[in-house]
Amino acid sequence: MKITLNSPLDMHLHLRDGDMLKLTAPLSADFAGAVIMPNLVPPVTTPAAMQAYDARIAAALDGADFTRYMTLFFTPLGEKELIAAKEAPGFFGFKLYPAGITTNSEGGVSDMAQADKTLRLMEEMGIPLLVHGESHGFVMDREQEFLAVYRHLATKYPKLKLSMEHITTAEAVRLLDEFPNICATVTLQHLIITLDDVAGGALRPHLFCKPIAKRPEDRDALLRAALEGHPRLMFGSDSAPHPRCKKEACGCAAGVFTGPVALPKLAEIFAAHGALENLQAFVSGNACQWYGLQPVQKTVTLEDTPMSVPASYRSYGEQVVPMYAGESIGWSIVR
């Protein structure tokens, strides 16, 4: 069995920087493009920093045909700064992080009221807002507690394109149907695992991410919405590489590295549920329609031939362990 995808997109990708970027960028380039996250150290907050980062990504890709949809780390800005951002080549939108909620987010928003003026201007200018939606409450309740913030934003700024990034709960799926100005991304791992897979037996640090995996009923609701082709749910890998030494350590870094296996594993999942006809919408069509994107023309053919996943990827002094390391998955990319 085979399927050919047209211009698949990853709507939430971490490529990191430096040597890690040189390793991970080529491993993510089977996609036609991706929305690139800005939480570097220091975060990408200006058009100049964004374009410099984009140039480093282009160099790491070494000629691969891969469109970078660049984001800026949200900080309160005025009209002049927002116009400069919108006019910068490659700019896609702003990523809002609650302060200290995840990797390299210490400079995020601590009081949503301080963002009001900027959000009003973004609404008028048609600039998308991508949000890491978690509170600082109990870890299993953080996304659910943040849904009130999404409702507030969707109501107060009804023309703002608002994306709930990497949703993990059944409640978030239901929220998609409450507001027409809300969309969402979901990761590969949250379609597959629950918290039991992470910590139910021996701790599996390479499956630890934020937002943390939730209950079986949450996983099932996410999977069902993806398989059924919900028009405002799109794939965003949140592929988040960390060096092995920072994953297999006290204070384990949050992130699952799925870039090299994302498309084959998605094909396997959709095929197993008899839903391959909806995979194109999930990995490209919904995003293109929602945001009006016209990605580079690129086809990727996948077939039900097993893929052996390396135990790790090592290059430029970095070693990174992917999801399904040392295992075999049922589909692969036709090279």
Active site residues: 238
How many C-beta neighbours within 10 Å does residue 10 have? 31
In eight-state DSSP terms, residue 112 is G
Q: CB–CB of 202/248 below 8 Å?
A: no
Q: Is the dihedral of CA 149, 154, 156, 159 positive or negative?
A: positive
d(CA 29, CA 27): 6
**CA 245, 249, 253, 259 torsion: positive or negative?**
positive
Cis status, amide bond into 260, omega within 30 of 0: no
For the record, the structure tokens of 25 come out as 């960028």
Question: Would you give the end-to-end CA distance of the chain in angstroms?
Answer: 15
From 287, 325, 304, 323, select the one nearest 12 (Cα to Cα): 287
The residues near 328 (Cβ < 8 Å, ≥ 6 apart) are 306, 307, 308, 309
Beta-carbon neighbour count of residue 52 at 10 Å?
A: 12
| Among 21, 11, 33, residue whose Cα is nearest residue 59 | 21
